[in-house]
């Protein structure tokens, strides 16, 4: 349903008395989000995950490439068509408390999208709020509460209800459990998957925690320095990841078995500067498999088995 093709996003700023500086936050990213499926987007902080998500949601204009919704390029839509699109693609933000207006009640917060798009009247809006509260497993009594009276987990359920009330097809979840306790985060993940099975939503689930991403996703997209490094089925990804960076992320997942040691290749700690990127593969300064070709050429995004990977030596890693 939602697809990016060779998407790029560049940010430029001009300090006083100094030359302008540009950062290519997203580089040549192509991916698809389909109905009833979850794409897990994973990578370190600052790799471009949220920038990509904002471009997909229409909150940012791509510098190059395109975003397509049901085959139609979003950037070419009229203002009226783009307004309709806003209903179909919804965004759940990272901080569940800051995303809510503290001076509005839960009922007002959830009904706000209906009011903005002039859907229904006061009676039908309140009926929809009650239906959504039931869907996200919050009591009807919470309608008259303010965000300060709710826990962080309850606030995130309100955010989910607000995103669902316009009956979207695509929901972008940007680090929706990172600010929650582990147990509450598990409940939110279970809620999202239950809603997906019932309603057929397509999810883009963004996180730096690859274990959570594998748990909830159908497809894994690994991002580094604005580039998509690996795209693969989530099933078995923990054992079959091909890109050295994917293996580094897996290495960072703590083991639940005392004394267990997982043998992954070690990496250097030299992180490239996004303002002044180096030639070749952006990961070569940290990669144990790097050779001269890695330092000279950016790898093509190519198929290796069921995986699509951006690595000159994926077969050797495998």
Q: What is the pLDDT of residues 102-161, one digit of tens each?
A: 999 999 999 999 998 889 899 999 999 999 999 999 999 999 999 999 999 999 999 999
Question: Greater confidence, 256 or 316?
Answer: 316
Structure confidence at residue 253 (pLDDT): 78
Mean pLDDT, to the nearest integer, of 2-16?
87
| Strand residues in the chain grouped as ranges (E) | 2-13, 21-33, 38-42, 64-69, 72-73, 89-92, 170-174, 202-207, 219-224, 227-233, 302-304, 307-309
Instruction: Give SS3 for 143.
Output: helix
Instruction: Report how far residue 193's alpha carbon sits from residue 27's, in angstroms, rounded to the nearest whole number.
Output: 30
Of 77-86, 155-164, 287-296, 299-308, least confident by mean pLDDT is 77-86
Q: For residue 205, count other CB atoms closer than 10 A to its CB.
A: 25
**Residue 41 and residue 110 in contact, taking contact as beta carbons nearer than 8 Å:** no
Nearest in space to 216 (alpha carbons), one of 34, 6, 38: 38
Identify the band that residue 79 occupies on the pLDDT scale cut at 50, 70 and 90: confident
Output the CA angle 174-7-32, nearest 5 degrees: 60
Which residues have CB under 8 Å from 80's CB, separation 6+? none
Instruction: Report how far residue 21's alpha carbon sits from residue 245's, in angstroms, rounded to the nearest whole number.
Output: 27
Domain count, the chain: 1
Given a cut of 80, whether residue 26 has pLDDT beyond it is: yes
Q: Note down the domain range covering 124.
A: 2-317
Instruction: Report how far residue 27's alpha carbon sits from residue 168's, in angstroms, rounded to the nearest whole number.
Output: 28
Beta bridge partners, 202, equal 170
Residue 44: which CATH number? 3.40.50.300
Structure confidence at residue 255 (pLDDT): 61
> Across all residues in the chain, what is the average pLDDT?
87
Given a cut of 60, whether residue 199 has pLDDT beyond it is: yes
Instruction: Report how far residue 309's alpha carbon sits from residue 61's, in angstroms, rounded to the nearest whole number.
Output: 27
Instruction: Report how far residue 148's alpha carbon sits from residue 155's, in angstroms, rounded to the nearest whole number.
Output: 9
Given a cut of 50, whether residue 6 has pLDDT beyond it is: yes
Instruction: Give SS3 for 28.
Output: strand
Instruction: Report how far residue 234's alpha carbon sits from residue 237's, in angstroms, rounded to the nearest whole number.
Output: 5
Q: What is the pLDDT of residues 233-268, one digit of tens each?
A: 999 998 899 999 999 898 887 765 555 545 544 444
Structure confidence at residue 233 (pLDDT): 95
Q: What are phi and psi of 10, to 5 degrees?
A: -115, 135
In angstroms, what CA-CA distances link 219 with 39, 41, 205, 291?
5, 9, 10, 29
Mean pLDDT, to the nearest integer, of 206-211?
87
Question: Greater confidence, 9 or 80?
Answer: 9
Counts of helices then strands in the chain (DSSP H, E): 11, 12
Mean pLDDT, to the nearest integer, of 71-90?
83
């Amino acid at each position: 349903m939602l697809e990016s093709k060779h998407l790029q996003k560049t940010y430029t700023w001009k300090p006083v008395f100094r030359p302008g500086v540009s950062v290519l936050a997203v580089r040549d990213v192509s991916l698809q989000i389909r109905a009833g499926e979850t794409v897990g987007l994973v990578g370190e902080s600052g790799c471009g995950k949220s920038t990509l998500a904002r471009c997909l949601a229409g909150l940012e204009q791509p510098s190059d490439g395109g975003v397509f919704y049901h085959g139609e390029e979003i950037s070419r839509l009229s203002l009226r068509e783009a307004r309709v699109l806003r209903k179909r693609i919804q965004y759940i933000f990272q901080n569940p408390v800051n995303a809510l207006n503290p001076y509005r009640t839960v009922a007002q917060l959830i009904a706000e999208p209906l009011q903005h798009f002039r859907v229904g009247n006061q009676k039908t809006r309140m009926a929809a709020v009650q239906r959504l509260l039931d869907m996200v497993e919050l009591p009807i009594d919470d309608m008259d509460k303010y965000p300060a009276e709710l826990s962080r987990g309850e606030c995130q359920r309100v955010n989910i209800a607000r995103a669902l009330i316009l009956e979207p097809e695509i929901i972008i979840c940007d680090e929706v459990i990172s600010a929650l306790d582990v147990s509450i985060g598990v409940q939110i993940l279970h809620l999202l998957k239950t809603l997906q099975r019932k309603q057929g939503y397509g999810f883009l689930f963004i996180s730096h925690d690859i274990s959570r991403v594998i748990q909830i996703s159908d497809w894994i997209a690994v991002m580094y320095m604005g580039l998509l490094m690996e795209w693969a089925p989530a099933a078995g990804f923990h054992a079959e990841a091909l890109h050295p960076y994917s293996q580094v992320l897996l290495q960072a997942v703590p083991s639940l078995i005392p004394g267990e040691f997982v043998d992954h290749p070690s990496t250097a700690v030299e992180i490239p500067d996004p303002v002044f990127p180096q030639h070749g593969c952006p990961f070569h300064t940290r990669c144990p498999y790097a050779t001269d070709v890695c330092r000279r050429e950016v790898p093509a995004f190519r198929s290796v088995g069921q995986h699509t990977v951006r690595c000159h030596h994926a077969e050797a890693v495998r």
